Chains A and B, each alone.
Chain A
Amino acid sequence: MIPLSWYLIFAAGLFSLGLFGVLARRNAVAILLGVELMLNAVNINLAAFWRYGNVADMTGQVFAIIVFAVAAAEVAVGLALVISVYRSRNTVVADEIDMLKW
């Protein structure tokens, strides 16, 4: 049998890798890839706590499904924004998208 800690440490590693991707990448699409990794790490935790807690209580799985929906919405809007910015500024480098700064 697999102890709960294995899943939690695995998810922590996945989350940290995603955090590194979000902070260090220059390309806006690559930043969104990092966000996906972090959301997946959270979902692993939700599923693991459902399985190791009271199985009849479905809260963990329901929230994992809501995270799926939020991730799909976030990717659709995020990529639409990236494509829109690319069209007007001809760049996808996050540092160069500074219309809100002056």
Chain B
Amino acid sequence: MTTAQIIFLVVAAVTLASAFMVVTTRNLIHAALWLVATLFGVAVTYALLDAGFLAVVQVVVYIGAIAILFIFAVMLTRKEMRDQGPQLNSGWWISALLAVLTFGGLVGMLWGWRGMDTLASEMPVGFDSINALGDALISPNAFVLPFEVASVLLLAALVGAVYVAFNPRSGDSRK
């Protein structure tokens, strides 16, 4: 057991436990806060994988924006199903069975694959992965087109979210 392995096991256990709380806890505000813990664990996993940029973006975008958006949405829709009534639907055991089968199927499929015990090669000396990532995102030979498509998608989502959430009855912005 090396230090990295111990860190990974602790982080994975904490992350999976928080993810379990996200899908089972009754209070939705608590579920959103457990999601923050899960996302932080995933950020630590990225750091273990030497993907520093992804770790930072995970904290800024997921925890800073998406999790806060969830907390806002829970607070805006809360009074209806507070903490009473079942939080899981009546067929939840079928869902649990399906989830366990999916996990078993994925692990079983991976079991027969010979690349399972691959160890990471050493990072090449002088290789800056953030630099290479930036080059790949704007290079015409690499990923400039998916990058632009993603920005168009974000713009469309921005316009769509404003349009869908706008209430024409309560506020007329033209006045």
Contacts and interface: CB of A to CB of B under 8 A. Distances in A.
22 contacts: A5-B110, A7-B49, A12-B106, A23-B92, A23-B98, A27-B81, A27-B87, A37-B38, A40-B38, A40-B62, A43-B42, A44-B45, A47-B54, A52-B118, A55-B124, A55-B127, A55-B129, A58-B132, A58-B133, A72-B66, A80-B164, A86-B77
Nearest to A64: B54
A26 B16 contact: no
Interface residues of B, number: 91
B73 A79 contact: yes
Interface of A: 1-10, 12-21, 23-27, 29-30, 32-34, 36-37, 40, 43-44, 47-48, 50-52, 55-56, 58-59, 61-62, 64-66, 68-77, 79-84, 86-87, 90-93, 95
Interface string B27-62: 010011001001100100110111101100110011
Nearest to B4: A2
Contacts of B66: 36, 71-72, 75
Contacts of A43: 42, 54
A34 B53 CA distance: 24
Given A26-B88, A83-B77, A4 B19 contact: no
Given A26-B88, A70-B153, A71-B66, A84 B95 contact: no
A25 B135 CA distance: 42
Contact of A40 (B4, B42, B118): B42
A19 to B, nearest CB: 5
Nearest to B78: A92
Contacts of B74: 29
A19 B165 CA distance: 27
A11 to B, nearest CB: 9
Given A80-B165, A83-B77, A93-B81, A15 B106 contact: yes
A61 B35 contact: no
A93 B136 CA distance: 43
Contacts of A59: 136, 143
Interface string B140-170: 0011001100110110111011101101000
Given A61-B53, A68-B61, A77-B157, A24 B107 contact: no
Interface in B109-140: 110, 115-121, 123-124, 127, 129, 132-133, 135-137
